[in-house]
Amino acid sequence: MSTSFNRLRPVSNSFMELEALLARYPGVNTQEIAEIGGLVAHLSLIEEAILSSSKDHAEKLHNFRREHGDSYRVPTKELVAVLSFPILIAVALLWWAFA
């Protein structure tokens, strides 16, 4: 029995743009490098997984991060926002379990 998904979320325009830029990666100009950096910094986990599953994209993404990774990191505010929720849940569970 196969499951069909009729309402899959379409691929975002920024993801398609990132794929196109990565396909041409070593031969892009400095403006496009900045654009790649901005797009890479805001990848969702599923988009990261999709890029990593493709051999060509994974290699080019790795090369981009190796060469330009210091310039394009995830903003600290977003990182704190994403990590604070699971930490709060863990603290609340520990408090409940040992209180």
- The residue with greater pLDDT, 7 or 34, is 34
Task: Give the model confidence (pLDDT) of 40-87 as tens digits.
Answer: 888 888 888 888 898 888 898 888 888 887 666 666 777 788 889 899
Tokens of 14: 């920024």
Q: Which DSSP state fits 28?
A: -
Structure pTM? 0.61
Side-chain-side CA neighbours of residue 15 (13 Å): 14
Question: How many Cβ atoms sit within 10 Å of the Cβ of residue 45?
Answer: 8
- Res 73: pLDDT: 66
